[in-house]
């Protein structure tokens, strides 16, 4: 039986603009979902202030206090599981997660990546898109797997790469669309429309053949 309200924990490392997009969306959408906690590995992450402003518990766990990735991830698991989450959302969390962590939250761990996966996994995606002379760029929301940026893709949103774009202008274009696509995917979870079974995505109880492509918001 599904819980009446979807319980969410968000992991961040920085400014938390996608966290803010989720907070804003949940405040205005008639869906049953609640961010129970925000966890950061950076004490000065502005996302912790965003959480405080919204009345959400903010937790700092310093990864430098742990001897290795596995022990840090186990400490995070202990904190996260206290909130019994249905969904764990990575929103600019700049740590590679251990296999144990990923497996623990399999099917309920999602991430947003600033490229049209499988293109440009990893860092510096905007400059790499420019260097490759791609005409389309964007963002992808995917289930997290043990392969970096390699889990099944749920949805994508595109932007046009123009001749006068640079890495910064492209970043600003993409992040605007991230604030559309991430709340939408979370709403699908809250509405029990989305699931992962044996590394295959089901949407509205149908096998998802390809990612949903959302319409971008224009300025």
Which residues belong to the active site?
113
Structure tokens given for 78 = 């202990």
CB hemisphere CA count around 118 (13 angstroms): 6
- The position carrying tokens 């949903």 is 212
What would the two tokens of residue 142 be?
A: 């995917």
CA 9 and chain centroid, separation? 11
Tell me the sheet residues that pair with 195: 202
Closest CA to 17 of 214, 184, 178: 178
């Amino acid at each position: 039986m599904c819980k009446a309200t979807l319980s969410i924990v968000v992991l961040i490392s920085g400014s938390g603009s996608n966290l803010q997009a989720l907070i804003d969306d949940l405040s205005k959408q008639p869906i049953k979902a609640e961010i129970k906690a925000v966890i950061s590995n950076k004490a000065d992450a502005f996302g912790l202030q965003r959480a405080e402003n919204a009345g959400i518990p903010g937790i700092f766990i310093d990864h430098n206090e742990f001897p290795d990735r596995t022990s840090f991830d186990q400490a995070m698991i202990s904190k996260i599981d206290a909130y019994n989450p249905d969904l764990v959302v990575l929103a600019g969390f700049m740590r590679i997660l251990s296999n144990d962590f990923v497996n623990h939250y399999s099917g309920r761990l999602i991430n947003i990546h600033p490229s049209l996966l499988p293109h440009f996994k990893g860092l510096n995606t905007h400059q790499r898109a420019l260097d490759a002379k791609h005409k389309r760029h964007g963002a992808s929301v995917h289930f997290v797997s043990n392969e970096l940026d390699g889990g099944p893709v749920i949805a994508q949103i595109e932007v046009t790469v123009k001749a006068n774009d640079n890495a910064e202008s492209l970043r600003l274009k993409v992040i605007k669309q991230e604030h559309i696509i991430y709340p939408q995917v979370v709403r699908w979870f809250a509405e029990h429309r989305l699931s992962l079974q044996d590394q295959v995505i089901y949407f509205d109880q149908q096998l998802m053949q390809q990612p949903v492509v959302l319409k971008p918001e224009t300025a």
